[in-house]
């Protein structure tokens, strides 16, 4: 279905903005925290890191106690190994819960030579077409309404790529029912920096794939 000229121009402008922002992020110096999160391999992520043993969740999914960012990356690595074209992974959690850290580790697991993985906070979407299949990383925090997401190329992403979506509730009815849902929650004080609980649930054939994590 062809886009109206105004919508097409808006989408093209957004894509150019995405490319420009990505280059700007790659060329600017990182703070210590940004560098630590942006390059998981520097801290030993995805290099034999052991995934914590899962716990059964009341809703039929799995829960993982993630002691630190490395454990979050281990979960991302495990799910990256099981993902395929057409998968949609919805990343839920409050600000700072670890959604972007998970996405960066997931992308690094699929693309070991990717280098920096910029956050699409302002551009809404960052695509990695060199991956097989391609990976689309969405951050919809600034999305005004669900219909606006249609201009980001959702059909292409949901059919042919692996989609990582931060703030997926912004999609409303456009979030596929087959999506895998990852809920990240802070653990109480005194549990260590970066400690989280991750709840993972999915429809379609995701339950069968998640069984291989136990």
Set out the domains of the chain in order of their start, with CATH numbers.
Answer: 5-211 (3.40.50.300)
Share of the chain above pLDDT 90, in %: 57
Residue 178 pLDDT greater than 50, yes or no: yes
Whether the pLDDT of residue 33 is over 90: the answer is: no
Q: What percent of the chain has pLDDT over 70?
A: 73
Q: What is the pLDDT of residue 133?
A: 95
187: confidence class by pLDDT, cuts 50, 70, 90? confident
Mean pLDDT of 14-40: 38
pLDDT of residue 54: 86
Query: How much is the average pLDDT of 54-83?
Result: 89
pLDDT at 162 over 90: yes
Q: Is the pLDDT of residue 151 over 70?
A: yes
SS (H, E, C) the chain: CCCCHHHHHHHHHHHHHHHHHHHHHHHCCCCHHHHHHHCHHHHCCCCCCCCCCCEECCCCCEEEEECCHHHHHHHHHHHHHHCCCCCEEEEECCCCCCHHHHHHHHHHHHCCCCCCCCCCCCCCEEEECCCCCCEEEEECCCCCCHHHHHHHCHHHHHHHCEEEEECHHHHHHHCCCCCEEEEEEECCCCCCCCCEEEEEEECCCHHHHHHCCC
pTM of the model: 0.76
């Amino acid at each position: 279905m062809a886009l109206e000229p105004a919508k097409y121009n808006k989408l093209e402008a957004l894509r150019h903005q995405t490319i420009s922002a990505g280059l700007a992020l790659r060329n600017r110096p990182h703070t210590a925290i940004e560098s630590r999160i942006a390059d998981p391999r520097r801290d030993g992520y995805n290099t034999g890191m052991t995934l914590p043993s899962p716990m059964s969740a009341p809703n039929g999914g799995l829960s993982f106690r993630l002691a630190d960012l490395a454990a979050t990356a281990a979960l991302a690595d495990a799910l990256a190994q099981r993902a395929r074209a057409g998968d949609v992974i919805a990343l839920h959690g409050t600000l700072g819960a670890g959604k972007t850290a998970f996405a960066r580790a997931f992308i690094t697991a699929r693309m070991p030579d990717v280098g920096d993985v910029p956050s699409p906070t302002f551009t809404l979407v960052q695509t990695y077409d060199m991956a097989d299949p391609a990976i689309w990383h969405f951050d919809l925090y600034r999305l005004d309404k669900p219909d606006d997401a249609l201009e980001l190329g959702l059909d292409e992403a949901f059919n042919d790529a692996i989609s990582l979506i931060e703030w997926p509730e912004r999609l409303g009815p456009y979030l596929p029912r087959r999506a895998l849902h990852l809920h990240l929650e802070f653990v109480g004080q005194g549990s260590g920096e970066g400690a989280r609980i991750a709840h993972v649930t999915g429809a379609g054939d995701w339950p069968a794939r998640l069984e291989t994590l136990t």
